[in-house]
Copies of this chain bind each other. A is one copy, B any other.
Amino acid sequence: MKSEKVRGMKDFYPEDERVQKYIFSAWRKIAEKYGYSEVDFPILENVDIYKKSGEEVPEQMYILKDKKGRKLALRPETTPTIARMLGFRKDLSKPVKWYSVSRCLRYERMQKGRGREFFQYNVDCLGLDNMLADAEVITVGVKVMQELGLGRKDFCVKINNRKIIQNFLERLGVKKIDEVLRLIDKKEKIGAAEFRSGLKKLCKIDVVELENFLKIKNLRDLDDYDLKGIDELRELFDYLKNFSVDGFCEIDFSITRGFDYYTGTVFEIFDKSKEFRSVAGGGRYDDLARGFPGVGFGMGDSVLKLVLEDKKKIPDLKKEVDYFVAVTEKELVGKAIDISEKLRKENNVEIDLSFRSLSKQLKYADEINAKKTVIVGPKELKKKKVVVRDMFSGREKKVKSSKLK
């Protein structure tokens, strides 16, 4: 049988899966360090929960019909699921601090580093509507990047507060706020000309005034403005300073996020070379789950891996076992199994299953990076001994098999 895999899907051979595990383990470690608990959820959801997921996501869903004709989606993201789960639990004490590492699917145009199936890390703090929660969530994002070996020269967090840009647009007299926000979100991608012409179609405002506002990088430059959300942004930056991550963070009013459910803080993590799409994105969503104002972010594995590769930050991850047990005669396999089982109390041990020549066994032991090889042979066994070979130095010594551990 030689079947093709489905386009946009990825197989994770051991060498690929080791990279996944390396990333997942950093994700989990940092979330746990901040007191977040892991959750998981179905891969199939009713399509209606993604109504607030903006323009793009609902169009990119894999949809199937169940036997009763109901439309089900393969989850394209996880925030709406979290809102759904909270709706059924009135007993949870606040804050609800959850994280997840989950497979998501989006039927999008194929691009470098973007398959149609990816893994998303989500970190959410629910039940609180203060900026301290926002600061903690952003800090978790920064700490994950640091845990993976990235520093200030590699990445930054661009932060906005939707209230500010919305209020600014309102003051300018813009009616189609959501549409303009989406256009601003795409500004970098589509370029100045297309941005301007798009804007013209949506409203009659002074483009230069908007463009100047979008260039603001400092809290100080906001002193001249009296807009909703500025106080929140100031408070957020105070806390970010307390967390010592303010050096990674900058203001960027062009960050609006494509999802309609964000209500305050929005942010994205970018690599500084700007070669890649955002590594992570999130924000505050106070109206998605009733009684649970929330803040959170999602980080996909695809762009993250591109950035880590680009910065040469993926370590050389190889299969490793503590012991390989080689056997020189088929009759001695029983004894070899016995020895391997004893060694497994404390070690990861592979035993030769192939009945091949000793030199081939040693070659294989090298391939799997065995630290030591135990050679079970008849001469030594008579003295209740085995040969233990250090695979790095090549040195061998005879050891009583009862002394192995």
Interface positions of A (Cβ within 8 A of B): 1-6, 9-14, 16-18, 20-21, 32-35, 37-46, 48-49, 52, 62-64, 66-67, 70, 72, 74, 80-81, 83-85, 87-89, 93-95, 97-98, 103, 105, 107, 117, 125, 128, 130, 132-133, 136, 238-239, 241-244, 288-290, 319, 321, 333-334, 337-338, 341, 344, 347-351, 353-355, 364, 367-368
In the complex, the answer to whether A34 meets B349 with C-beta atoms within 8 Å is: yes
A181 to chain B, nearest CB (A): 21
A349 partner residues in chain B, CB cutoff 8 A: 33-35
Q: Are A40 and B67 in contact (CB under 8 A)?
A: no
Contact check, B12 vs A40: say whether CB atoms are below 8 A apart.
yes
Q: Are B105 and A43 in contact (CB under 8 A)?
A: yes
Verify B130–A353 contact, CB threshold 8 A: yes
> How many angstroms between the C-alpha atoms of A2 and B291 in the bound complex?
12
Q: How far is the CA of A16 from the CA of B39 in the complex (A)?
A: 8
Residues of the B chain whose Cβ atoms lie less than 8 Å from the Cβ of A41: 9, 11-12
Please give 11 more A-B residue pairs, beta carbons under 8 A apart, in addition to A20-B40, A62-B64.
A1-B80, A1-B289, A3-B87, A11-B39, A11-B81, A11-B85, A13-B39, A17-B40, A33-B348, A35-B350, A242-B334
Subset of 11 A-B contacts with CB under 8 Å = A3-B45, A3-B84, A9-B42, A11-B39, A16-B40, A34-B344, A35-B368, A42-B117, A62-B64, A64-B64, A93-B364
* Protomer copies: 2
Decide: A14 near B44, CB < 8 A? Known: A1-B87, A35-B350: no
Query: 8 tightest CB-CB pairs across the interface, nearest first?
Result: A35-B350, A9-B42, A64-B64, A14-B37, A12-B40, A242-B337, A242-B334, A2-B87
A12 close to B35 (CB less than 8 A): no
What chain B residues lie within 8 Å of A52 (beta carbons)? 1
Asked if residues B43 and A14 are in contact (CB atoms below 8 Å), the reply is no
The reply to whether B85 and A45 form a contact with Cβ atoms under 8 Å apart is no
Rounded to whole angstroms, the CA-CA distance of A400 and B293 in the bound complex is 36
Main secondary structure of the interface of A (DSSP, over half): mixed
Report which residue of A40, A70, A344 has the largest number of chain B beta carbons within 10 angstroms of its beta carbon.
A40
A103 to chain B, nearest CB (A): 6
Contacts of A367 in B (CB 8 A): 93
Q: Check if B3 sits within 8 Å of A107, measured CB to CB.
A: no
Across-interface contacts of A43 in B (CB, < 8 A): 9, 43, 74, 103, 105, 117
Instruction: From A13, A45, A52, A97, name the one whose CB has the most chain B CB atoms within 10 angstroms.
Output: A13
**Would you call A353 and B133 a contact (CB within 8 A)?**
yes
CA distance A72 to B72 in the complex (A): 14
Q: B348 and A13: CB pair below 8 A?
A: no
Please state if B321 and A35 are interface contacts (CB–CB under 8 Å).
yes
Task: Tell whether, in the assembled complex, residue B242 and residue A67 are in contact, meaning their CB atoms are under 8 Å apart.
Answer: no
Question: Contact at A353–B132, with CB atoms within 8 Å?
Answer: yes
